[in-house]
Amino acid sequence: MSKTVLITGASRGIGAETARRFAREGYAVGVNYCSSQARAEELVRELEAMGVSAKAYGADVSDRAQVDRMVGDFLSDFGHMDVLVCNAGIARQELFTDVTEAQWRQMLGINLDGVFHCCQAALPDMIRRKSGRVITLSSMWGQVGASCEVAYSAAKAGVIGLTKALAKEVGPSGITVNCVAPGVIETEMNGLLDQETKDALAEETPLERMGTPADVAEAIWFLASQGGSFFTGQVLAPNGGFII
């Protein structure tokens, strides 16, 4: 029986690269998307060409009913869930005094509530089997905060707190819960940055480059692999030394 992974926000960027990384290890892959159905289905075809089972699941992770349906469909299709990767997220830059309540709710709804919803939906199967890996995605700004990204920083800090507390709660059930907190990564989320800004961020990074989705996918894979079996409640930070 193949091992299985459900990855939220997997139609592009870090999520898509993570899907490819797990597929290379023979995992059956659930590809969650919110609005990018065509890209998710294209990725599914790519993964199937690698010789693994894969399926796309549309769900807005901020909506509990949609998450429950997605997890239920995944378990019906694959029988069990070995790994949950909570990657779905949004980012936005604005002055704190300009953030509307709707924007605040949306940021926390996707970035933090989404992790809550997915973990609550997936854990009963893992607890029943006394086995599972949960990997959440935060950000270096969740660790230290960023000017003009207060809502994002708050949501991502919440993910770290959720991760650490949940690890203590489900550890006795044989489940690990860890967090990956990337630095500046070359993704569509950062695609709005001009080249001058990107160059400045690379220069500020001790390794003198921006990270790639593959850099983050390798960190996620490590926590899901046998090598990560004694890690729980930890924050792994592929950030090139940007923060230490």
The answer to whether residue 17 is domain-embedded is: yes
Please check the confidence at residue 60 and state whether its pLDDT lies above 70: yes
The answer to whether residue 183 is domain-embedded is: yes
- pLDDT tens per residue across span 216-241: 999 999 999 999 999 999 999 999 99
The answer to whether residue 93 is domain-embedded is: yes
What CA–CA distance (Å, rounded) separates 175 from 224?
A: 11
What CA–CA distance (Å, rounded) separates 234 from 68?
A: 27
Residue 39 tokens read as: 């890209």
Q: Tell me which residues are annotated as active site.
A: 152
The answer to whether residue 78 is domain-embedded is: yes
The answer to whether residue 230 is domain-embedded is: yes
Report the CATH number at residue 157: 3.40.50.720
Average pLDDT score over residue span 187-202: 75
Interior/surface letters 12-31, b for 16+ CB within 10 angstroms, e for the rest: bbbbbbbbbbbbeeebbbbb
Please check the confidence at residue 191 and state whether its pLDDT lies above 90: no
The answer to whether residue 244 is domain-embedded is: no
- pLDDT tens per residue across span 124-173: 999 999 999 999 999 999 999 999 999 999 999 999 999 999 999 999 99
The percentage of residues in the chain with a pLDDT greater than 70, rounded to a whole number, is 98
The answer to whether residue 241 is domain-embedded is: no
Domain with 31, as residue range(s), is 4-236
- pTM, rounded to two decimals: 0.96
Q: How many domains does the chain have?
A: 1
**Terminal Cα-to-Cα distance of the chain (whole angstroms):** 41
The answer to whether residue 44 is domain-embedded is: yes
